[in-house]
Chain A
Amino acid sequence: MARYLVTRAWHSALTLLLSTVVVFLGVRALPGDPALALAGEDRSPEALEAIRHHYGLDQPLPLQFAQYVERIVQGDFGVSIRTGIPVSSMLTTALPVTVELSVLAILLATALGVGAGVLAAVRRGRPAEWLANGLALVGLSVPHFWLGLLAILYLSVAAGLFPASGFVPLLQDPVGNLHHIVLPAVILGTGLAAIIMRQTRSAMLDALSSDHVRTAKAKGLRPRAVITRHALRNSLIVVVTIVGLQLGGLISGAVVTEQIFGLPGFGKMTIDAVFQRDYPVIQAVVLLTATAYIVINFLVDLLYSVIDPRIRVTGDPA
């Protein structure tokens, strides 16, 4: 167990370092002089010189990288070219929106996906299974941003059920906040729900035909107890695994969803930055996403090894 943890931690740290190198080199691969890109409007020779000095662009590359890492560790991602606001404070306002949206989407997707997956497995070969399977295939194939567009058109604008865009912070007005974020979370969760449903269904089918469930049935346990106590426990592993694997898709999805619903989160900040060529913001966004992905997947692996003892032995969460 300890050995597995140390290996996983070392691999995560290495990946984190490599992704930092990639982002660092990516910034150097920007067309033209990075100082020009960082300078924005003020392109006087003095300003460029000051930027070169501030970012250490006149230093050798390895030294530049060391300084870069030092600044990031201190939370200094530079200043937005367009707004003049430090990128770190932009992140502090944007991130809670995205985290709330994603957490809510994961919860909704889990409830829906596990429920439909169990139903499909238990009602094998009946209309309920066909319906659940069909919905999951559609959920996998539908462009979520399009679903979002249709939801805004028909549920928000035409029916007036939800606000079409905008956001209220959670602490300021919890009810209004939920009213704004529920629809985007449902939209973001549909794809994830489809994936969770399909995996839950096949895990349940395996479990239902396994020896320990047969024993439980033979013992005279009622079907409901067999399902919840024995078979369903396995689907917890399924959900944890999928959330880890699909985190990248979830982040991508959150970016689009925020853009459609006008939520002032991480995603909107990212897209705005690309079109405004706001390089310090893009850089921070890319690095932060990679870090979040690596850290969360490390935590998922830890959780995984707690839930499923076999992983600790083989050390390979396949």
Chain B
Amino acid sequence: MTVLTVPMAEASPASISRRARVLRRLRRNPLAVVSFVVLALAAVVALLSPWIAPYSVQQTDFAHTFSPPGTPGHVLGTDDLGRDVLSRIMLGARASLQVALLAVATSLIIGVPLGLAAGYFRAWDAVLSRFTDLLLAFPFLIMAVGLAAIRGASLTNAAVAIGIAQIPGVIRVVRSDTLRLKSLDFVAAAVVDGASDLWVLARHILPNATSVILVQATVAIPAAILGEAVLSFLGLGIQPPAPSLGTMLATAQQFAARAPWAAVLPGVVIMGLALAFNVFGDALRDALDPKGDR
């Protein structure tokens, strides 16, 4: 029974050695290792931030507003309401990653099946092409503006707007990989064998398309992190007093004359997260590239 449920593409010896090869290549690339460590640390901090943050993010202290970084008790200083900046950055990074994962999950859940359908069924292709054209006509910020007008500004709506805007990219890469896989012999063999379209898609095409989906996701996550920061900065994303790196920068802009340092740290964190994802994404793409054998 268990033998029957093992997915074919994953069980074949060729794919096991391929996975090992990809992992080995990643381990040998110092940039990949460093970016992975940064991301792992960020993930741990984000997960545990409600418990390990030194202060409550809402705890105000009007006697100690705008303390500079290095103040005893507040390593990164305090903001305009005397709240601890380190705690807010930790929780803000958590919110950034939350929005990014929610957005990318949204785009994958909708985009992957549509991309498979567009690549596999000719009849769907034309309709889905018009659908992607339509989505592309609304840039993510304009989509967020429209959503905020209809449903109000919130973390979820920001994630949905970013996720919807990323659907066309997912459809495009999954569609072209499906077209490629569909023309290969093992798919033709499965069809001749009497496999249904759904079976072929789920068991043969999707498992082999995971690498392009993975690469697409590593590109989409940093874009979503930047998108969330922009939306929160403009007031269209996470709403104060909830901590967010974007809103921290918006506040810093208001008080830039008094506390210029406050405009530096949240930006560095946003950039660090996005950079780590982009560097890791590049390394992953190189590692997955079959032409990269040496």
Contact = CB atoms under 8 A, between A and B. Distances in A.
Nearest to B141: A252
Nearest to A292: B137
Contacts of A259: 234
B212 interface: no
Contacts of A152: 256
Q: What 8 pairs across the A-B complex have the smallest Cβ distances?
A: A248-B139, A146-B267, A252-B141, A141-B274, A141-B275, A290-B137, A15-B133, A252-B139
B140 interface: yes
A198 to B, nearest CB: 9
B98 interface: no
A285 B148 CA distance: 14
B165 interface: yes
B234 A256 contact: yes
A271 B257 CA distance: 24
Could you tell me the dominant secondary structure of chain A's interface residues? helix
B256 A157 contact: yes
Interface stretch (B7-15, B202-210, B222-230): B222-230
Given A143-B270, A146-B270, A31 B138 contact: no
Nearest to B227: A252
Interface stretch (A22-30, A60-68, A120-128, A172-180): A22-30
A51 interface: no
B150 interface: yes
Could you tell me the dominant secondary structure of chain B's interface residues? helix
Interface string B200-241: 000000000000000000000010001001100111100000
A30 B252 CA distance: 33
A47 interface: no
30 contacts: A15-B130, A15-B134, A29-B150, A137-B275, A137-B278, A138-B275, A140-B222, A140-B278, A143-B226, A143-B271, A146-B266, A149-B263, A149-B267, A150-B263, A150-B264, A248-B165, A251-B139, A252-B139, A252-B142, A255-B142, A260-B253, A282-B149, A286-B142, A289-B137, A289-B138, A293-B136, A293-B138, A294-B133, A294-B137, A297-B136
Interface residues of A, number: 49
Contacts of A297: 136
Interface of A: 11, 14-15, 18-19, 22-23, 26, 29-31, 137-138, 140-143, 145-147, 149-150, 152-153, 157, 247-249, 251-252, 255-256, 259-260, 270-271, 274-275, 277, 279, 282, 285-286, 289-290, 293-294, 297, 318
A270 B149 CA distance: 11
Contacts of A277: 149
B22 interface: no
B279 interface: yes
B179 to A, nearest CB: 10
Contacts of B282: 137
A29 B148 CA distance: 12
A256 B222 contact: no
Nearest to B253: A149
B53 interface: no
B176 interface: yes
Given A145-B230, A289-B139, A138 B236 contact: no
A290 B229 contact: no
Given A19-B134, A30-B149, A137-B282, A142 B271 contact: yes
Nearest to A140: B278
B5 to A, nearest CB: 37
Contacts of B138: 19, 22, 248, 286, 289-290, 293
A260 B246 CA distance: 13
Contacts of A23: 146
Residue of B139, B145, B151 with highest tally of chain A CB at under 10 A = B139
B90 interface: no
Nearest to A270: B145
Contact of B141 (A31, A251, A282): A251
B136 A146 contact: no
Given A19-B137, A140-B222, A142-B274, 12 more contacts: A15-B137, A19-B134, A137-B275, A138-B271, A149-B253, A149-B263, A150-B267, A248-B139, A286-B142, A289-B138, A290-B138, A294-B137
